[in-house]
Amino acid sequence: MTAHRSPLSAHGAPVSFEFFPPKTDEQREALDRTVRLLKPASPEYVSMTFGAGGSTLSHTVDAVRSLRSKHALDAAPHLSCMGGSRAEVRSLIEDYKSLGVTRIVALRGDLPSGMASIGDFRYASDLVAFIREETGDRFRIEVACYPEVHPQANDALADLANFKRKIEAGANGAITQYFYNADGYFRFVDAIRKMGVDVPVVPGIMPIANFSQLRRFSDMCGAEIPRWLAKRLTAFGDDASSIRDFSADVVADLCRRLVEGGAPGMHFYTLNRARPTMAVLERL
């Protein structure tokens, strides 16, 4: 039987989509519309982010339930441990078991301002080890990694060693922070392979919808926007359609390079919007 590839499938590589949990009815309806538009790309799974310190704790569980039941998608929760206790994490894991979840994206998260205690876990590696202790091989565990180096790392080599700790603690795969420089990804993968780490490293892809928002995010998370890209986007001013087309071309070229260079898939940061991700997928 011939497999029919959807017009939205990405250059033959598996895709996953990341969403954040909606909090109001309006946001829930908007996410439903986004999911319906993206579903034809047949994502391998979709993931739902988690606010540190429990702020969106129940929203994440509810949103995962809805993606699984309403949209029949393999939905994976993110679970960040910063500020959380072992008991809280254990109870969340129980919720996810009862929903039939098979994959968790395990993160440290960041301490929200005003929250004094880091809780029972210091690093994502502690969370991975805890999930393994509690549940054995029940879940596939993804962790985060940073081809352009995590902003709080002492240095690039320490960051690589810390990434390896998460794999040794039991993670099965990694998703990168977004980037626009493919060489950084390939160098990162080369470096960890030399350290004996053989898990799949899926690039996180950030389609560009709003340049000022992207600049803000990038400042916070340490992702570099190359000068040529920033300059071109700035020069378009308010010309939204030129920004849209140019950005989609740039991000689609990045995806093509990554997949041709061996990336095992692509994880799209959708920010709950369908169009910017669809524009990239359509070009692939």
Question: Under the rule (CB under 6 A), what is the footprint of ligand FAD?
Answer: 49-50, 52, 78, 80, 105, 107-110, 123-125, 144, 150, 152-153, 158-159, 162, 165-166, 175, 177, 204
* Continuous segment of H or E residues that includes residue 61: helix 57-69
Nearer to ligand FAD, 19 or 38 (CB): 19
Q: How far is the CB of 203 from ligand FAD (least distance, A)?
A: 10
Query: How far, in Å, CA of 194 to CA of 200, rounded?
Result: 14
Q: Of 282, 257, 245, whose CA–CA distance to 38 is shortest? A: 282
- Please, what is the minimum distance in Å from the beta carbon of residue 136 to ligand FAD? 21
> With respect to ligand FAD, which residue has the nearer C-beta, 243 or 267?
267
| Minimum CB distance to ligand FAD smaller for 22 or for 204 | 204
Which C-beta is closer to ligand FAD: that of 99 or that of 232?
99
CA-closest candidate to residue 174, choices 148, 210, 201 = 201
Which residues belong to the active site? 18
Minimum distance from residue 44 beta carbon to ligand FAD (Å):
15
CB contact at 8 A, 43 and 266: no
Distance CA 80, CA 252 (A): 30
d(CA 41, CA 281): 8
- Lookup: tokens for 132: 């393994």
Minimal distance, residue 108 CB to ligand FAD, in Å: 3
